[in-house]
Amino acid sequence: MQRGEALRHMVDERSSCEALCRQHYGRVLQLCRALLVDRDEAEEVAQEVFLKMVREYQRQNPIHSWEAWLTRVTVNACRDRRRSGWWKWWRELHSEFYETDWPSSVATAEEHALRGETREQIWRCICALSARQREVFALRRIEGWSNEETAELLGLSAGSVKRHLFHALRHLAKALGER
């Protein structure tokens, strides 16, 4: 009887952990993409984050909000990744993007090229932001956290969050408005 309950508990736990992964994987992956501006690195870091999540889940530590926990762990993992490959990061800042593999639903080649150029410029603008500005922008405008929540997640004051967000948006508006 006890063995059956333990097995059922284990299955429930595993299924809930998988559900948690499915629920948050897309969001975490997109956050990694915005913070790293590299799809391959983003996938690697997202997998690392979910590996940590599974370990934390198995430890059965009380987590108040998995969403906030995952966001915090993702931001830290992206910071670690940037620090570990600083020379690679510097090298990639001066490289160009490939736009050939973007899916396109438009008809003409001219529209396809124009849309690809716009996307490339958007990602290049994100790449040109400082790390802190990028984190604030991603959490506030992509993830949808409030100023106070973003400040708590990043260990900043709410005023700093506002200032970083304003500078990031001004940079984006200037760079994208000059097209």
Partner 1 sequence: MKSCVSDDTLLLCYLDEAPASVRSHVATCASCASRYQQLNQTLAHAEQELQTGCPPHRPSQRTSFSHWWFPAAAAIAAVVVIFWSVAVRPPPEPLVHTGVHDPEVRRFLAREVSPALSVTNGLSVTPIPAPVSSAGYVYAALAGGWPCEQTNSLVPLQCEVAPFFFFFAD
List residues binding partner 1 (CB under 8 A). Answer: 30, 33-34, 36-39, 42, 88, 91-92, 95-99, 101-102, 118-120, 122-123, 125-126, 138, 141-142, 162, 165-166, 169-170, 172-174, 176-177
Which CB atom, from 20 or from 126, has the smaller least distance to partner 1?
Answer: 126
Which CB atom, from 57 or from 143, has the smaller least distance to partner 1?
Answer: 143
State the first-to-last Cα distance of the chain, in angstroms, to the nearest integer: 69
Sign of CA dihedral 162, 167, 168, 169: positive
Question: Least CB distance from residue 161 to partner 1, whole Å?
Answer: 11
Question: Least CB distance from residue 40 to partner 1, whole Å?
Answer: 8
Which CB atom, from 34 or from 57, has the smaller least distance to partner 1?
Answer: 34
Residue 58, CA distances (Å) to 35, 46, 55, 63, 73 in order: 28, 19, 5, 12, 17
Question: Least CB distance from residue 34 to partner 1, whole Å?
Answer: 5
Whether residue 65 contacts residue 23, with contact meaning beta carbons closer than 8 Å, is answered with no
Whole-angstrom Cα distance, residue 126 to residue 131? Answer: 10
Which CB atom, from 37 or from 154, has the smaller least distance to partner 1?
Answer: 37
